[in-house]
Amino acid sequence: MRSFYRACLLYTNFAKIFEAMVYLTRVEHFNAAHKLFNPAWSAQKNEDVFGKCANENWHGHNYELYVTVKGQPDPETGFVLDVKKLSEIIKEQVLEKLDHLNLNVDVDFMEGKMCSTENLAIAIWEQLEQLLPGSVQLHCVKLYETPRIFVEYYGK
Amino acid sequence: MYMNKKVAVFRKEHFNAAHRLYNAKWDDATNFRIFGKCSNPHYHGHNYELEVKVTGEPQADTGFVMDMKVLSDLIQQYVVERFDHKNLNLDTVEFKHLNPTAENIAVVIYDLLRPHVNEKHDLQIRLYETPRNFVEYPV
């Protein structure tokens, strides 16, 4: 009888693990130049709105990127997603296209967009979403522009 | 009264700037071989974190080595206003002909601040180019 209860308990614990929604985050970083400049506006209006961020010759940041996916741990591996795989997707789709580059000039997926941290987070989401395996969902892209300024995007 | 005891005080400030590592005497291929992606022609950038260390004896009347507000104002005036949200290669006279490596930036900052800090005090600069790369001058 005791072993029956033990089996039930074991089953319940396993069931909890398989139903559990777990959020997995990978942290990466890149350095880039940018400026905040709306080409439809005069230089004066750009300076009025964006201040020193509109400096013609660019400035730059150390960006810290937190990518969070959610899913249920795989029964065989215990992983939501192999974090090495997540790291490789971020490296290929984001870091190699942004790191040590100029966001306004060098990055195809930022073309025609204002290079604010908000827009960059949305663009990074779009870069990643299409390549993640179906077993997980992208939950959040959190992007630090400086240690004191960051944005979060949840996909809508 | 703590006379004759040396104390170091630190002030942290920060600035954001674009730069590229580039030696004008070398061709592009050599620059790329030595400096890698840091020589990207369209620049990249950093959040520089600056720590300024002043060492001396606390003054008898105030207990201060140096008033930290004064130190903060000096760093703002001579360093942050000069470099913040600028392109170090294009927008500053200091790096017109000097490669803006973290090492060279630290030496330049020391030279900018040294005349304004009491000569009895030691001055040291620690500059973080990224959270993982930093330099100190003098050592």
CATH code, A63: 3.30.479.10
pLDDT of residue A17: 56
Full domain range(s) for residue A68 = 20-153
Counted domains in chain A:
1
- How far A16 CA sits from the closest chain B CA (Å)? 39
Domain ranges within chain B, ordered by starting residue: 7-137
pLDDT in tens, B29-80: 999 999 999 999 999 999 999 999 999 999 998 899 999 999 999 999 999 9
Contact B138, B110 (CB under 8 A): yes
Query: Which residues on chain A are in Cβ contact (under 8 Å) with B37?
Result: 99-101
The reply to whether residue A100 touches residue B44, judged by beta carbons under 8 angstroms, is yes
**Structure tokens that stand for A151 in this block:** 């944005």
The reply to whether A47 falls in a domain is yes
**Structure tokens that stand for B29 in this block:** 């291929």
For domain B7-137, is the CATH number 3.30.450.40?
Answer: no
The reply to whether residue B46 touches residue A55, judged by beta carbons under 8 angstroms, is no
The reply to whether A122 falls in a domain is yes
The reply to whether A69 falls in a domain is yes
pTM: 0.86
B40, B49, B86 ranked by CB distance to A101: nearest: B40
Question: In the predicted model, what is the mean pLDDT of residues A63-83?
Answer: 96
The answer to whether A59 contacts chain B (CB < 8 Å) is yes
The reply to whether A14 falls in a domain is no
pLDDT in tens, A115-129: 999 999 999 999 999
Instruction: Using CA atoms of B14, B19, B22, B28 in order, give the dihedral in degrees to the nearest 10.
Output: 150
Residue A25's identity, in one-letter code, is: T
Q: Which residues 106-125 in chain A show a CB within 8 A of chain B?
A: 106
Whether the per-residue pLDDT at A12 is higher than 80: the answer is no
